[in-house]
């Protein structure tokens, strides 16, 4: 019995020590807020490369929002990396499409790039989705569609169940309007989900890259792109990506490390 009690005490003490060590580790680990503040301070001191690295660490840890991507874009822009500046401004814009600062800095970075690539040649679905995404996010459109659906359901339900509903004509017109708006909003939501222009969009992050006719250095050079050019990723193959300029007329292959997808994980 005495030996059992000693074992029990040893186990309790062991667990207690482990718990204390874990708590101490968590207590010593800086919070995301502290890391963000440190990165912002580095940016203010002009340590743009260090600030960018700190912002990247936060993103790699799973913290993603428009402000973080915007700050990262600013750090890269100040450090002269136009490709990664454009890339992160695009990521910030997707999360906060109505932010005028994000849009202004994105246009400023694009104006500094060597290759002034004009957008165009997209399908009707992609064009509509691109316009819609400049004003609302997919989540916001989903909430709006749901609210319109509830409004139309309430109006139609009131007309069916409550024959003597006051201002019946106004309720009927409101229900019809809400129903039409619901259908249109759901169609736009589906279009935004199906034709997200950022799904296959990438940005050249190498300072200069020769685009070749096939997936390998032995192929003939087709044209040259520079940091910040936005392209469409068509295909991937063993360390190479096939890219196309807007409209799809110019295509070729580039090393995969020279292009980074706008959609993380893509």
pLDDT at 225 over 90: yes
Residue 255, token pair as written in the block:
């090393």
Binned at pLDDT 50, 70 and 90, residue 13 comes out as: very low
- On whether the CB atoms of residues 128 and 194 are closer than 8 A, the answer is no
What are the pLDDT digits (tens) for 97-156? Answer: 999 999 999 999 999 999 877 655 566 656 666 666 667 777 777 888 888 889 878 778
Q: What is the mean pLDDT of residues 37-47?
A: 92
Nearest to 211 by CA among 229, 187, 189, 188: 229
pLDDT at 228 over 70: yes
Binned at pLDDT 50, 70 and 90, residue 215 comes out as: very high
Residue 56, token pair as written in the block:
């990247």
pLDDT at 232 over 80: yes
- On whether the CB atoms of residues 164 and 191 are closer than 8 A, the answer is no
Total-model pTM: 0.76
**For residue 205, what are the CA distances in angstroms to 81, 101, 103, 199, 258?**
8, 22, 20, 18, 5
What are the pLDDT digits (tens) for 155-186? Answer: 787 767 676 667 767 767 777 887 888 888 77
- In this predicted model, which residue has the larger pLDDT, 145 or 10? 145
Q: Are strands 221-226 and 251-255 parallel, antiparallel or unpaired?
A: unpaired
Nearest to 141 by CA among 188, 102, 92, 173: 188
- On whether the CB atoms of residues 36 and 68 are closer than 8 A, the answer is yes
For the ranges 129-133, 201-205, 224-228, the lowest mean pLDDT is seen at 129-133
DSSP symbols for 29-54: SPPHHHHHHHHHHHHHTT-HHHHHHH
């Amino acid at each position: 019995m005495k030996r059992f009690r000693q074992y029990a005490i040893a186990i309790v003490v062991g667990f207690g020590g482990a718990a204390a060590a874990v708590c101490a580790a968590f207590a010593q680990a800086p919070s995301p807020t502290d890391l963000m503040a440190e990165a912002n301070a580095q940016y203010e001191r002009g340590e743009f490369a260090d600030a960018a690295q700190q912002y990247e660490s936060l993103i790699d840890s799973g913290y993603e929002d428009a402000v973080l991507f915007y700050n990262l874009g600013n750090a890269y822009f100040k450090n002269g990396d136009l490709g990664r500046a454009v890339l992160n401004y695009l990521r910030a814009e997707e999360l906060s499409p109505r932010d005028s600062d994000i849009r202004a800095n994105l246009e400023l970075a694009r104006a500094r790039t060597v290759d002034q690539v004009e957008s165009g040649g997209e399908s009707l679905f992609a064009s509509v989705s691109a316009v819609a995404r400049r004003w609302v996010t997919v989540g916001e459109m989903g909430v709006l569609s749901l609210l319109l659906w509830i409004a139309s359901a309430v109006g139609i339900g009131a007309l069916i169940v409550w024959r003597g509903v006051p201002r019946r004509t106004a309720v009927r017109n409101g229900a019809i309007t809400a129903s039409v708006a619901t259908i249109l909003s759901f169609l736009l939501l589906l279009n935004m989900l199906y034709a997200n222009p950022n799904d296959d969009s990438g940005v050249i992050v190498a300072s200069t890259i020769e685009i070749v006719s096939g997936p390998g250095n032995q192929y003939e050079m087709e044209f040259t792109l520079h940091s910040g050019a936005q392209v469409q990723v068509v295909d991937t193959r063993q360390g190479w990506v096939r890219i196309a300029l807007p409209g799809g007329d110019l295509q070729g292959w580039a090393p995969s490390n020279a292009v980074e997808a706008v959609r993380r994980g893509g």
